[in-house]
Structure 1
Amino acid sequence: MIYTPLEQFSIISLIPIRLGNIYLSFTNSSLFLLLTTGLVFLLFHMVTQNGGYLVPSRWQSLVEMIYEFVVSLVDEQIGPKGRKYFPLIFTLFVFLIFTNLIGMVPYSFTATSHLVVTFGLSVSLFIGITIVGFQTHGLHFFSFLLPKGAPLSLAPLLVVLELVSYCFRAVSLGVRLFANMMAGHTLVKILSGFAWTMLSVGPLLATASIIPFGIVFALTGLEIGVACLQAYVFTILTCIYLNDAINLH
């Protein structure tokens, strides 16, 4: 049997569920999404059940660091008007960073390496942000499509370009996260498979396999950084888009 680096992204049905022509099976992706949610809920429950401690533990310090980081992010990117959207931004960042990091555990599954998950999340946020824009400004929200000071003769062209650019946010936000997570995991799998093949061929190549094994360890550390960075990028872009909808920048 030939194993490919893309095998790690296979969706496996754990509990088959069919309702007519609708396929609603519980898969490995669903399992790890629920596992991530459960672990995050358990962590936050443990550090907040007694109102926290005067001298915080390591886990409480971690939660407080994440909280303060997201608060500063919302204040810098949106301002005081964004405080009421803080629970959404905080939940989004925590969910993404824990999902990405759990995917780095050997024999686990990275849910954010599937386009259906990241694209579904980005489209949902795009629709919600658009609704916020209309609730805040009404039909005046359409003025976002025509940059201030632009000549009216170019209005038809600029409106079309701005509309395409605005709608493309829903695509780029999800594709960026999916592509980075999938590409990084694939590269690590290819190099680790190459190193294992060298190790099993003969003593000479086994010695040389130290090089690809070293690269794999370095890439694993890089992937952990990318997992955190992509959660940050996804969250900060959401804040920027929300700021545009609220303040029409």
Structure 2
Amino acid sequence: MLLTLSLVLLLFYFITKKGGGKSVPNAWQSLVELIYDFVLNLVNEQIGGNVKQVFFPCIFVIFTFLLFCNLQGMIPYSFTVTSHFLITLGLSFSIFIGITIVGFQRNGLHYLSILLPAGVPLPLAPFLVLLELISYSFRALSLGIRLFANMMAGHSLVKILSGFAWTMLCMNDLLYFIGGLGPILIVIALTGLELGVAILQAHVSTILICIYLNDAINLHQT
């Protein structure tokens, strides 16, 4: 995690250290601007109201951190931080608590009405409040589990197939060597797929955070 944060900070520092970069952007500056515009459009689309720009820096940091952690795990002999359940769970619960605090700051005790859908008959209210409370609490759990499961499953599959292919190539037998070419091709294809999954999971997690934040800010207005 410290290595990921260091890489992100160094990248942003060297690109923006001279007043925001060059008038004609190079490849690295274009990458940072692409990430910035992508997250900005995401926030504008998913969060309504006039306060959405206030939360943009936090969401931008979360997306960038998840993206670089996922991509760092694709480097051989590295460790995918987001494939560790305690890391993703701690991150998701921290975000969930923060969103809940924002909801109470914006709406006061009226924020508790998120647990009671509009138009519910009074006799069913206690039962539905309990169900909505469980559903609301499981948002944090599902946010962490989704990221952890997707990153761990794909990386584990690539590691198993890579070890199998390498073992066959080291058998000093022509038949085993030829047989090992198939798993190698599969590993190459899965590596490309995992790169897409790494980017997609950072995107999905950020979208869910924006949706939960929008629910907390704009209570019953969607």
TM-score (norm 1): 0.85
Structure 2 stretches lacking a partner, 5+ long = none
The one of the two structures with greater contact order (alpha-carbon pairs below 8 A, sep at least 6) is 2
Alignment deviations for residues 56-75 of structure 1 (CA, whole Å, 9 cap, x no partner)? 11100000010000110000
State the distance in 1 between where 2:158 and 2:33 align. 32
Matched, 1:238 2:209: yes
Alignment deviations for residues 80-124 of structure 1 (CA, whole Å, 9 cap, x no partner)? 321100010000000010011011100111111111111000000
State the distance in 2 between where 1:183 and 1:172 align. 16
Work out which of the residue numbers 155, 163, 166 in structure 2 matches 1:185: 155
Moved more, 79-88 or 133-142: 79-88
Offset of residue 44 of structure 1: 0.5
Aligned to 2:104: 134
Structure 1 stretches lacking a partner, 5+ long = 1-32
Q: How does 1:161-180 map to 2 (within 5 A)?
A: 161-180=131-150
Matched, 1:200 2:185: no
Offset of residue 144 of structure 1: 0.5
State the distance in 2 between where 1:53 and 1:185 align. 37
State the distance in 2 between where 1:45 and 1:208 align. 48
Work out which of the residue numbers 12, 36, 47 in structure 2 matches 1:67: 36
Matched, 1:114 2:84: yes
State the distance in 2 between where 1:248 and 1:143 align. 8
Between Structure 1 and Structure 2, how many residues are aligned?
217
State the distance in 2 between where 1:34 and 1:193 align. 28
Aligned to 2:180: 209
Which contiguous aligned blocks of 4+ residues in structure 1 show a shift greater than 3 angstroms? none
Offset of residue 234 of structure 1: 0.8
Alignment deviations for residues 23-65 of structure 1 (CA, whole Å, 9 cap, x no partner)? xxxxxxxxxx111101100110111111211101110000001
Q: Identity over the aligned pairs, expressed in percent? A: 66
Offset of residue 193 of structure 1: 1.3
Aligned to 2:198: 227
Moved more, 223-232 or 79-88: 79-88
Matched, 1:47 2:18: no
Q: How does 1:123-162 map to 2 (within 5 A)?
A: 123-162=93-132
Alignment deviations for residues 143-179 of structure 1 (CA, whole Å, 9 cap, x no partner)? 1001111222211111011000000011000111111
| Partner AA of 1:127 in structure 2 | I
Aligned to 1:58: 27
| Partner AA of 1:119 in structure 2 | L
